[in-house]
A and B are shown apart, each in its own frame.
With several copies, the nearest count.
Chain A
Amino acid sequence: MIRISVGPDDFDIAVETARVSGQGGGAIASFIGQVRDDGNLQSLALEHYPAMTEKALHKIAETARADWPLHAVTIIHRVGKLAVGDNIVLVITGSDHRGAAIEACSFIMDKLKTVAPFWKKETRTDGTTKWIEERASDVDASQKWDLRKN
């Protein structure tokens, strides 16, 4: 079962974990990304392309399900204004095997970072704003999965 959710609301890790766990298996991997205070960050604004976002996340989840034996995939991504420490993204995978669950979770995050149409704009404590730029390490991490399959 795939569950995709994109919106301003926070998520409840306990509720989401129980949902995945209820789909069977015994191995549940999850990843949470939060707004990280790197010194003088005030807030993040997360913009997305509503017509495309859920479609892109579904595609990532479906690819993961095709490549690993998963009972459930949950991807929740917040948008709007977020403060330091706030949750941004949650990925949970459920499988019979811990290797499959953890790898699929890692794959989904790497693809989400490079494919899902979200953009972060940061506001510093001095009031300046800046659109965050793509990181080469994210592109590398994403491409490694493609190479692995060939």
Chain B
Amino acid sequence: MARSLDIVYFAWVRERLGLDQEQVALGEGIETIADVVMMLVARGGVYAEIFADLAKLRFALDQDYGLPASPLGSAKELAIFPPVTGG
């Protein structure tokens, strides 16, 4: 059974994609945050532009920060966003 993952986008990532969230199916070998991002980059176009540079992005799995190498585990939601600028 294919696993699925909700991806949510914020700030300029959201704006440039024109997308708040999407659901993706996780194929074999997609085990980490970086794997998901590479999958998005492979779509080409604006995805490739936005997600090529991991250093410009931050990630959270089920609302806790994760690193590119963090395993997805049983997470339901991956958030991808720029460094935060609140306060």
Interface residues of A (CB under 8 A from B): 33, 46-49, 51-52, 55-56, 77, 88-89, 98, 109, 112-121, 131-135
Q: In the bound complex, do residue A49 and residue B10 qualify as a contact, i.e. CB atoms below 8 Å apart?
A: yes
A121 and B79 in contact, given A48-B86, A109-B87, A112-B86 (Cβ under 8 angstroms): no
Q: In the bound complex, do residue B82 and residue A119 qualify as a contact, i.e. CB atoms below 8 Å apart? A: yes
Known: A49-B81, A52-B79, A131-B82. A119 touches B87 (CB 8 A): no
**Interchain CB contact under 8 A, A33 and B11:** no
With contacts A51-B77, A52-B63, A55-B63 taken as known, whether A46 is within 8 angstroms of B86 at the C-beta atoms is yes
Complex: how many Å from CA A57 to CA B15?
Answer: 25
User: 19 interchain pairs (CB within 8 A)?
Assistant: A48-B10, A48-B86, A51-B77, A52-B60, A52-B63, A52-B64, A52-B79, A55-B64, A56-B63, A88-B86, A98-B87, A113-B85, A113-B87, A116-B87, A117-B60, A117-B79, A119-B86, A120-B86, A131-B11
B contact residues, range: 10 to 19
In the bound assembly, the distance between CA atoms of A51 and B85 in angstroms comes to 17
B83 touches A33 (CB 8 A): no
Residues 69 to 87 of chain B near chain A (Cβ within 8 Å)? 77, 79, 81-87
* A49 and B86 contact, Cβ closer than 8 Å, known pairs A55-B63, A117-B10: no
B7 within 8 A of A: no
Which residues of A lie under 8 Å from residue B15 when comparing CB positions?
131
Q: Which residue of B lies closest to A111 (CB)?
A: B87
B residues within 8 A CB of A56? 63
Residues of B within 8 A of A135 (CB): 85
Q: Is A133 a contact of B83 with CB atoms below 8 Å? A: yes
Question: What chain A residues lie within 8 Å of B11 (beta carbons)?
Answer: 47, 119, 121, 131
